[in-house]
Amino acid sequence: MNFNNVSKRIERIKFALLSPDEIRKMSQVRVITPDTYDDDGYPIERGLMDLHMGVIEPGLKCATCGGKVDECPGHFGHIELAMPVVHIGFIKEIKSMLDASCKECGRIKLTDEEINNYRTQVSAIDFETMDPEIIDMTLKKIVEIAVQRNICPHCSAESPKVILDKPTTFREGGIKITPKEIRERLERIQDDDLLFFGINKGSARPEWMILTVLPVPPIDVRPSITLETGERSEDDLTHKLVDIIRISQRLRESRDNGSPQLIIEDLWDLLQYHITTYFDNQTAGIPPARHRSGRALKTLVQRLKGKEGRFRANLSGKRVNFSSRSVISPEPFLSMNEVGIPEIAARELTVPVLINSFNIEKMKEWIKRGTMPRTPDGKYLAGINYLIRPDGRRIKLTDQNAEINSERVDIGWTVERQMTEGDIVLFNRQPSLHRMSMMAHSVRVLPGMTFRFNLADCTPYNADFDGDEMNLHVIQSEESRAEARIIMKVQEQIMSPRFGGPIIGAIHDHITALFLLTHNNPLISEDDTLHTTSYIEFEKLPEPVIKDGKKYYHGRDIFSLVLPEGLNIKFKSHLCAGAKDKCEYENDPADTYVVITNGKLVHGTIDDEAVGPFSGVIVDKIFRKIGPQAAAKFIDNVTRLAVGFLSHRGFSTGIKDYDIPKDAISRIQEISNETLEKIEKLVNAFRSGQLQPLPGRSVEDTLEVEILSATGGVRDESGKIASQYLGLNDPSVIMARSGARAKMLNIAEVAGMVGQQSVRGGRLNRGYANRTLSHFKENDLGAYARGFIKSSYRAGLNPTEYFFHSIGGREGLVDIAVRTSRSGYMQRRLINAFEDLKVDDKRRVEDTIGSVVQFKYGEDGIDPTRSDEGQTVDVDYAAYDEFGDEQ
Amino acid sequence: MSKFNVLEHEIVPEHHLVPVEEEESVLTKLNVTKDDLPKIGINDPTIKALEEIHGKLVPGRIVKIIRKSPTAGYYEYYRIIVKSVM
């Protein structure tokens, strides 16, 4: 820590104009030569790199303060401009003052009476406390009166209209007013009139908006860099200042030798151009100044503005150390609380360890091991990268100096130790849309080059493995490690604050596997059982069933191995959702409900509803009843059991899943023909004017609505026919019915019919004049002409259908693109508005000043994370858990 | 045309003026100072409607708002009248 600079509290900030005198006063040197360094590479005196403006080279001392490189803060210099120029930042203000003031006497063009009237209103303005926007609004009306007046009420002089020829030229009756004249006019404005222009007379004079002296920023603001070739490269600002000095010099010489007015004016304009681009190189109306290479220069405004500017890139967000980024891939054998990191990353990322009397011996041993230690059989061991002495100096540990340094360390030193198994790290995937986008994991060092994690964590991160990359941050202090472990660990984030249910759960193949394992309670041979259960931790195998002298195990008994004891739940599975008394897909009517009694699965099928993310009834109940640890253990076991079972049993899907018999196809064709006829009738009725409009709709609308409902109906109908022939022995249907992936609708599209394509909720109607494609007659309202696809994906689409399908498909893509950018911006604004609100110990929501936002968090004091899908308590479940079915 | 009273609109919650003598006890109950209360502008339509009943209101008075909530039943909110909200 540096105690030389005692920090101070900023009480207030005042914005004012710099006067030429102030600029000269704060300047340490008047810069007169556009050159930077001499042939020996030494800064030229009174040049742009003059030592009075600070030092950037080690070894040199600042000529102003005597400080060395890191001690000297840098000092301003100044350039005396040969002729005054307009400051691009004040164009608007200058225009308004030229418009509203008299060119002769400089008074504001208001009558004395008006001035007296408004003075009371205006003198109430307090620049230090009032909102500038409100001040502006009050003054705008008053100034507008003065602008409209042509004759000065004070000296009766006539003032022609001043026109701003963008960006920096002012004209009066077509004749240019030079900056010099502008300055003279502004000088004439009386201090007492300044208030009407929104200027605080104590802190500014209008003529200061015309530059006569230009401050030169300290060298620290525009350091030159030395390239590898030894060549010096100057900062963009320095380049710009060189131009300014050069032109200013030429202008001065030309003026002094009495050159023709034309030449002087040209040079003056050039000086104006350089100074304008020095401030803002993206001023509308002038070409940006360019570097020799053709790249536009990054000048003052560009340094601050936008996403890459100082505010958003360097102050709101910074780059950090102790972090890494890599491609991600799945690893089902890791716990959901773990993350696998490649050895190369583990050796680079370090944790600081403070040496004390308890660990000094161990640390000496570790230092002796060097930077790349391994066990005798070649396994990874954590090494040490750096030693930090109590005075803060860093020593890089190498295998050569390991021995000596191991002797030098003492209590009070810190060593930077490489990652090791069990370290807590933060893992993050962008866009970080909710708090589960950044969770704490414990480290496993693995071979390979990717970060790896359990598939259950895909949902909260919204990650897949098609090339996604994620970031990892190593926590550097004990406090943050403890905090991360207690509140950021994956298991603590299972419940989503968005809907009060689990957001982490088994996905895709896990659900398929558990469905196969539990649906209709199959018998699993002893061999298969032993293989499957070898993936999980459990105490005792269930009771076997003996059949034909061979041992078998029930699938539900195997699943019950991963359920914690004492768990009682009854709910409807995804498969039987909507079933009343008996579920059509279950052989046993009792299986309509999933029943778990004391940690044993008695009835029902385990699927998405039981273990999936967003629903996950079992995960939800374990988390609430037993705790995060048990829920994590359940998810770890259930995913591993599923992977073990499915990889042993085998499961595959393909086009044959969608084979339906010939008569099914002809039935689908039949209903599609019926619908086509119906649509034709509707169109004919419409043409003959016999179509009865629906209430509140035009005839055209009615036709569209009727046709849409007819085409929607035929698609559903064909889906029903197709699914009659595709049962629960069909892999695609298993995936759809269990909630693992896809919907029955998608199966209907493949096997049955794709159906009507739509754009913005209506049938396709654009393209050519009065028709969608040139293959149809104009004004054809028939089904085929307006995007109806009677083919299935399996049978293949004909060319016009293919076009329509592409049109419908593009709408989806456009929607996604629009939605993400818009919701992203909304999210940003919400976060900026809410970021510093906090909930205090009385559950009151306050801002940083202490103003109350809500007297009780969310108006009910309920943490949505712990709520039961928004409700405070689930009384029904509590009763079921206690008393079972008899209420 | 009869004047429309915003307070009678379905989605506008109940607004009540807190009598000056009760202000102290309300602030004690909430454990806040007047400065920390949420604000409502004097030009707010609901304040205009309250002025119809209570006469001219001045900044500094407290308004009690009773909102319906699906989870908490009813929720009492308090706002202090200010000259303008930024």
Closest by CA to A676, choosing from A768, A756, A748, is A756
Distance CA A625, CA A849 (A): 39
Which H or E element spans position A469? strand A469-474
pLDDT at A6: 58
Which residues are bridge partners to A416 per DSSP? A352, A386
- What number of other Cβ atoms are within 10 A of residue A103's Cβ? 19
**Measured between CA atoms, how close is B2 to chain A, in angstroms?**
30
**Which residue from A846, A849, A860 is facing B69, i.e. has the nearest CB?**
A860
DSSP A385-425: EEEE-TTS-EEE--TTTHHHHHHH--TT-EEEEEP-TT-EE
Cβ contact A856–B78 (<8 Å): no
Task: Return the pLDDT at A700.
Answer: 87
- Residue pair A453/A330 in contact (Cβ under 8 Å)? The answer is yes
Cβ neighbours of residue A547 closer than 8 Å, sequence gap 6 or more: A523
Beta bridge partners of A386: A396, A416
Tell me the C-alpha distance between B11 and B9, whole Å.
6
A127 near A135, Cβ under 8 Å?
Answer: yes
Is residue A277 within 8 A of residue A297, CB to CB? The reply is yes
Which among A134, A841, A852 is the top mutation candidate for probing chain B, defined by the most B β-carbons within 10 Å of its own β-carbon? Answer: A852
- pLDDT one-digit tens code per residue, B39-57: 898 888 999 899 888 888 8
Of A850, A859, A872, which has the smallest distance from its Cβ to B75's Cβ?
A859
Mutation to test the A interface, candidates B26, B36, B66, B76, most A Cβ within 10 Å: B36
Query: Distance between alpha carbon B76 and the CA centroid of its chain, in Å?
Result: 10
Average of pLDDT values for A141-154? Answer: 85
- Among A131, A852, A870, select the one facing B32 at the smallest CB separation: A852
Residue with the bigger pLDDT between A264 and A884: it is A264
Q: Could you give all domains of chain A from N- to C-terminal order, each with its CATH number?
A: 31-74+217-311 (4.10.860.120), 87-208 (no CATH), 323-501 (2.40.40.20), 505-636 (1.10.274.100), 655-813 (1.10.132.30), 836-887 (no CATH)
Assess contact for A654 and A757: CB atoms under 8 A. Answer: no
Question: Sheet containing A384-388: which strands, arranged edge to edge?
Answer: A350-354, A414-418, A384-388, A394-396
Strand partners, A395: A387
Nearest CA distance, B81 vs chain A (angstrom): 14
Considering only CB atoms, which chain B residues are within 8 Å of A842? 31
Closest-CA residue in chain A for B73? Answer: A860
- Which string of DSSP letters, residue by residue, matches A74-101? --EEEEEEEEEEE-GGGHHHHHHHHHHB
Task: Chain A: give the shortest CA distance to residue B16, in Å.
Answer: 17
| Run of H or E residues at A830 | helix A799-834
Query: What is the longest distance spanned by two Cα atoms in chain A?
Result: 122
Pairwise CB contact (< 8 Å): A842 & B31: yes
Say if A132 is an interface residue toward chain B (CB within 8 Å). Answer: no
Residue A852, min C-alpha distance to chain B (Å): 6
Q: What is the DSSP string of A592-633?
A: GEEEEETTEEEES--SHHHHSSS--HHHHHHHHHT-HHHHHH
A599: which strand partners?
Answer: none
Q: How far apart are CA A368 and CA A399, in angstroms?
A: 8
Q: By CA distance, what is B35's nearest residue in A?
A: A851
- Counting runs of H as helices and runs of E as strands, what totals does chain B give? 2, 4
Q: At what angle do helices A731-738 and A744-751 cross, to 10 degrees?
A: 150
Q: Answer yes or no: CATH 1.10.600.10 is held by domain B6-82.
A: no
- Residues A302, A282: Cα–Cα separation, whole Å: 8
Chain B closest CA to A858's CA: distance in Å? Answer: 10
Q: Which candidate in A135, A499, A851 is best for mutational testing of the B interface (most B CBs within 10 A)?
A: A851
Inter-residue contact A327 to A389 (CB < 8 Å): no
Q: Which residues have C-beta within 8 Å of that of residue A352, sequence separation ≥ 6?
A: A388, A414, A415, A416, A417, A476
User: Nearest by CB to A860, which of B72, B78, B86?
Assistant: B72
Q: Are B72 and A870 an interchain contact pair (Cβ–Cβ within 8 Å)?
A: no
Q: Report the chain A residue with the minimal C-alpha distance to residue B72.
A: A860
Which of A120-129, A208-217, A370-379 bottoms out in mean pLDDT, i.e. has the lowest? Answer: A120-129
Tell if the CB–CB gap between B38 and A853 is shorter than 8 Å. Answer: yes
Please tell me whether the peptide bond between A497 and the residue prior to it is cis, using omega within 30 degrees of 0: no
pLDDT digits (tens, 9 = 90+) for A692-712: 888 988 888 888 888 888 888
Range A47-66 average pLDDT? 87
> Which chain A residues are Cβ-neighbours of B71 within 8 angstroms?
858-860, 862, 870-872
pLDDT in tens, A403-440: 898 888 999 999 999 999 999 999 999 988 889 999 99
Q: Which of B36, B72, B75 sits opposite A852 (nearest CB)?
A: B36
ipTM: 0.91
Residue-level pLDDT at A52:
92
pLDDT > 90? residue A849: no
Q: Which residues of B touch A (CB under 8 A)?
A: 30-32, 35-38, 67, 69, 71-72, 75-78, 86
CB contact A819 to B (< 8 Å) = no
SS3 A572: strand
Angle, in degrees to the nearest 10, between helices A744-751 and A699-725: 90
Angle of CA points A714, A716, A720, to nearest 5°: 110
pLDDT exceeds 70 at position B85: no
Query: Residue A771 carries which DSSP code?
Result: B
Q: Tell me what pLDDT residue A1 has.
A: 43
pLDDT digits 0-9 by tens, A474-499: 999 999 999 999 999 999 999 999 88
H or E stretch covering A704: helix A699-725
Helix, strand, or coil (residue A856): coil
User: Could you write out the three-class secondary structure of A514-569?
Assistant: HHHHHCCCCEEEHHHHHHHHCCCCCCCCCCCEEECCEEEEEHHHHHHCCCCCCCCE
Closest alpha carbon to A561 in A600, A590, A597, A527? A600
How far is the C-alpha of A286 from the C-alpha of A166, rounded, in Å?
Answer: 9
Residues A750-783: tens digit of each pLDDT: 988 898 998 888 888 888 999 999 999 998 888 8
Cβ count within 10 A of residue A518: 27
Confidence of residue A269 (pLDDT cuts 50, 70, 90): very high
User: Closest chain B residue to A134 measured between Cα atoms?
Assistant: B86
Q: Would you give the distance in Å from CA A41 to the centre of its chain?
A: 46
Residue with tokens 């000596």: A404
Which residues make Cβ contacts (< 8 Å) with residue A328, sequence separation at least 6?
A: A429, A450, A451, A452, A453, A463, A465, A468, A469, A470
Q: Is the peptide bond before A167 cis (omega within 30 degrees of 0)?
A: yes
A558-577 mean pLDDT? 90
With a CB-CB cutoff of 8 Å, which residues 241-260 of chain A face chain B? Answer: none
Other beta carbons within 10 angstroms of residue B32's beta carbon come to 20
